[in-house]
Structure 1
C-alpha cells in the first residue's frame, strides 16, 4: 500500500488557525464506517450516538510548554529547543534549531540562566540528548519560560495556553495535544455520565512523531516513534466490562485508540500495563478492542489518516474528506471533528 494512496486536496484556508470560542460547538461529521453514509451535526450532538453502558476512552495527558528560546553561552547565538521525551536518567531528547550550533558539549542558557542546558549526544535522526541544570522544580521553570509547542501548520499566536489542553488533562508529558479531546467541555462530559456512559481515562504522552511525514513510498516500511503510555486497572476493568456486555468502546482520538490496542492481549482483553508503544495501525489491521472513534481531520499521507482508514475503508474515508472540504469543515488540531460509528 502506497503513502500516496492517502493523499487528498486541502485548500490552505481550511486549516484552522485558532480554536473556536465554544469547544463543543464545532462541526461533527458522523460516518457509518461500514456503509460510508454521512451526517452533518454539531459536536455536542455526539451524546445522541452514545448508549447507556458504552465506554468512552479519553487520553488524559497534559501538554508541557516544551518550546524554549535561548542562547548559546559562549557566543550569544539564538537557539530554539523543542523537548520531545524525558529519559529515565533525567536527560531529554530534544529537537534543536539551528542544529549546527548544538554540538556535543555545547552549553545554552534560557531565561537569563534560570535554566542551563548541555548537549550530551546526537542521535541518528539529528535530535539531541540534553541535560538541564536548574535550581527549584523543573516543571515550574518550564511553565515560566516555555511556550506551547503548536504544530508547524498553525501560524497564529495562541492567546490562552489552556485552549491547547483538554479540560480533563492531568498527567504532564506531551509535546502535542490529543486534539480530538479538545471538543469536550465539563458540561458535556457530565451529561454523558448522567446518561450512564462509562468514562475510562488512559494516558499516552504524545510525541512530535505525530506531525512527522511518512517519508517512504510503501507504508509498511514506515517506523513509528515510540511513546509512553499507561493503562490502569480501573480503566482496563471499565473497558473490558463494556466489551463483555456487548456495549461499544469509543476512543476519543487516535492516541487513546493506539494505547488500548497496545495494551490488549491476544484474546482481546485489556490489561493493566505501562510502557512504550510504536504500534502502527493502517488498513488490514484487525482491531482487538476499539469499536468506534471520535477524531479530527488529519494531514494528507499521515499515519493518522491511515489509522482512521483501518477502522473503516480508505475510499470511504477519502470520500468523507472530500465532503468535508466541500462543506468547509475546519481541519487539523483546532478544526472540526469526525465520528466513525
Structure 2
C-alpha cells in the first residue's frame, strides 16, 4: 500500500499530470478518464472528458454507471469547455459541462465531480442497441476522491518487444498515455437517494494524436488488491503473417516492486453478455513466475462510442465492451476493470 513518503510518479515528470490548457492543433486529443469499481461489486463507473483540438469550445464527455443488477445510467455528448486552471493557477482541471476532474497533487490525488441529468437504460438495452434513444432521465450527482495506490504504467516502457511494436502504426491506436491504479471514496446520489462508497479504480491520462483506422481488437485488464499487490496488461490479438502484435503486462508485489510480465492466458472478447463472464488471465513474469488471476464480471457494458462508422471504414470493425470484474489472486479478492474489443467475424453473435 502506498505511503505518503513514497514517490508515486514512477519517474514521470509532474508536467505530464497537467492538462492542455489552450486549444492545440486540430489532431491533438487531451483526455482524462477513470474506471471506478465499488469494492463489493455493487456498481461501477466509467467517467471521462476528451478535449479535441477541432472542437475545443465543447469537450466530449461520457459517463456510465452500471449496477450488478443490470441497471445502467449513461450519458454521451459534449459540454461547454470550462477553465483548465486550478485555484493555484496551474492547468490541473479538465472539465466540460457537468463533469470536472482536478489534479490535487500530481500522481497522488485526483478528484471527480458531476451533477446533471443522465439517461436511464440497461446493460441489455445497449448491448442490443448502443445508439438507443435517450428518453428517460435521472438526476445524478457524485463526488469522488481518488488516492493513487501504485506507480503509473506507460505502455511500451516495460518489455522491449512491446516498445518495438508500439514504435510502428500499432502505437497510433493508443496515443501517448499512462495509467495509474487508485483507491477511492465518494458519494453517489441518484434521484435524491445518496450512498457513500469505497472503491478501486484506474486513471488514464492521454495526450496526443490518435488513429483508429486499422485497429483489430484488444484485451486490457487491471486491478489493485487490498495487500497492495496489483496487475495490469494490454494485448492486441495475434495476426497470421503480420508483425508481432503489441502485448505487455506487469505485476506489483506487496512491497511495491513492479515486475514486467507477458500475458499468456488472455480472455479475448467472443460474445456479448451483461455479466457473469469468466475473464480469468495468466501472466508470466520476467523473473520466472506464473501468475494466475481469476476474474468474473459483475457488469458488462457495450461501448456507445465508435459504433457509427464512416462509410469508407471496414464493415468488420471491432465491437468494444467495457466491463467490471471481481478478481482473485491466491485467495485475495478485489474489484477492477476490463475492456475488450473484437471483430464481429471472430465473435459468437
What TM-score bracket applies, with the shorter chain setting the length? under 0.3
Q: What is the TM-score normalised by the length of structure 2?
A: 0.25
**Quick one: higher RCO (CA 8 Å, sep 6+), 1 or 2?**
1
Structure with higher Rg: it is 1
